[in-house]
Structure formats: C-alpha cells, structure tokens
Amino acid sequence: MKILVFGTFDQLHPGHLFFLNEARKRGELHIVIARDSNVERIKGRSASESQKERKSAVEKAFPDAQVILGESEDFLVPVRNIHPDLIILGYDQRLPPGVQETDFSCPVERSSAMEPSKYKSSLRRRGLP
C-alpha cells in the first residue's frame, strides 16, 4: 500500500518523526518535501533550513522511504505520479491554496498529534521547548 505525506519538515523534531513513523506503519512511505518557494508563498515566511537540508534530514531519518521535492506550481503532480492508496495529512496541516481533498483519487486521513503543546514547529520557532 502506497502512503503519501506532504510537509515542510523544517528542523525535523519528535512531532514530525511521530507523524512519519505512524504513516510508515501503514505501508510504503512516500514523502513530499515542500520547496522553499512554496513555503514562502504559502506560509509567508522562509523555512529556517533549505529544501535541500530538509530533504536530507528526512532521507537520513527514513532511508527506506521515497523522499522527493514537491512541485513549484502544480501541487498535484506527486499525487498523479505516485498513485498513492492513501494520503495522510498532519493533524494541523492545511492543503495548499486551490487544492481540496476531493482533488485526490484516494482516501485522505488526518493523523493524530503527539503532544502538540510541546512538539509543534511554530513553538520551536519562537524558542519554546
């Protein structure tokens, strides 16, 4: 079963690892890393690590997964190329502008959170534990 997840994965932390490990338990894991240009456009700020650094960190943590960079314009290209059986979104993840769950040709599930008051990227950016 092909499992597809998307994310920025900036400063890979235990919350990210929990999400990715939970997804990996479901099948063959495919991870799409957001491009720097998309992070800036969608989140209104740059990631603290480059797309190359973020991709490398995820590849190191999940050597058995297929890790790719997302597309700059058409967010659905990886979905069409990979043909996942299931897409798993992070517990607080929003879809990119113009993309809806109905655009996917497979089921979409939302993951559970691991201590979101502790392991959330926005908290880490503000210097909170």
pTM attached to this predicted model: 0.87
Cα distance between residue 24 and residue 3, in whole Å = 7
Phi/psi for 69 (5° steps) reads -85, 145
Nearest partner of 30 among 9, 4, 11, judged by Cα: 4
At 96-125, the pLDDT tens digits run 888 998 899 999 999 988 765 555 555 444
Cα distance between residue 21 and residue 18, in whole Å = 5
Q: What is the largest CA-CA distance in the chain?
A: 39
At 37-75, the pLDDT tens digits run 999 998 899 999 999 999 999 999 999 999 999 998 899
Domains and CATH numbers, the chain: 2-125 (3.40.50.620)
Looking at residue 125, what is its pLDDT?
47
Beta bridge pairs of residue 88: 109
Q: What is the 3-state secondary structure (H, E, C) of 86-122?
A: EEEECCCCCCCCCCCHHHCCCCEEECCCCCCCCCCHH
Cα distance between residue 129 and residue 120, in whole Å = 9
